[in-house]
Amino acid sequence: MVIECRLMRSPEELVKSFRESGRKVTPQREKIFQILQGNKTHPTAESVYAELLREMPTVSLKTVYQTLHELVGMGEISPLDLGTGSARFDPNQSTHHHLVCTRCHSVKDLYLDIEDIQIPGEQLEGFDAGTAEITFRGHCSKCRTAVSGQSQIAVHQG
C-alpha cells in the first residue's frame, strides 16, 4: 500500500477556494485556517475556539463549528470520532490510523503499510465498505508511567 500525502491546503489557498465557491472570507475564518494549518493535535472545536479567543475575544463557538463544517464539506479536513467525548478535526488527510490513550485522551497518528483488509463475502451481506479506520487504544508513554505509579496507592480503582 502506498501512503500518499494529502494535507489541508494553505490558508492562502483556502481563502481563494472559499471565494471561488461563493463563500465569504472573514478574519475569523482566516485565523481558523491558520490555527489548523499543520496542526497535529487533532483539535476539537472547543480547542480551536480557545486558541481563537486569545486574538478575537468576541468570537462565538458557533462560528468555529460552522467553519470546521465548511472545511469538512470541502474535503480539507476530516472529522474524527475517537470516543473521546467530542468530535475532533484532522487537517491531515493522508490515509492513517490512530493511537488513542484511554487515560489522557491524547491521539497520535499512525502510518501503517498494511494490505487491504479482506472481508469474507458471506459476512458483508451487501454492505459496501468505503473506508476502514483502525483505532488502537492503550496508554501513551506518559500515562503508562503515571498508571503504574498510581496503582501502588490505588490498586483497587478501575
Pairing of strands 97-101, 107-110: antiparallel
Site string for DNA, 34-53 (x = CB under 7 A): ----------xxx-------
| Least Cβ distance, residue 158 to DNA (angstroms) | 14
What DSSP element (H or E) covers 34? helix 27-36
**CA dihedral defined by 90, 11, 20, 50, rounded to 10 degrees?**
60
The whole-angstrom separation of Cα 31 and Cα 138 is 34
The DSSP secondary-structure symbol of 53 reads H
Indicate which single residue of 50, 53, 59, 74 sits in contact with DNA (rule: CB under 7 A): 59
- Is residue 111 a contact point for its own copies (CB under 8 A)? yes
Cβ(107)–Cβ(42) below 8 Å: yes
Which amino acid is residue 58, in one-letter code?
T
Question: How many other CB atoms sit within 10 Å of the CB of residue 145?
Answer: 11
Q: Which does 28 bind (CB under 5 to 8 A by kind): DNA, its own copies, none?
A: DNA
Residue among 37 and 63 whose Cβ is closer to DNA: 63
Q: At which residue does the C-alpha cell 483539535 appear?
A: 43
Interface residue with its own copies, options 27, 38, 119, 151 (CB under 8 A): 119
Q: Please, what is the minimum distance in Å from the beta carbon of residue 144 to DNA?
A: 24
Closer Cβ to DNA, 86 or 148, answer by number: 86
Cβ contacts of residue 109 below 8 Å, gap of 6+?
Answer: 40, 92, 96, 97, 98, 99
CB-wise, 48 or 101, nearer to its own copies?
101
Give the interface segment with its own copies, choosing from 21-29, 35-43, 64-72, 137-145 (CB under 8 A): 137-145
C-alpha span between 97 and 114 (Å, rounded)? 11
Q: Which is nearer to DNA, 22 or 121 (CB)?
A: 22
Chain residues in the site for DNA (CB under 7 A): 18-19, 22-29, 44-46, 56, 58-63, 65-67, 69-70, 85-87
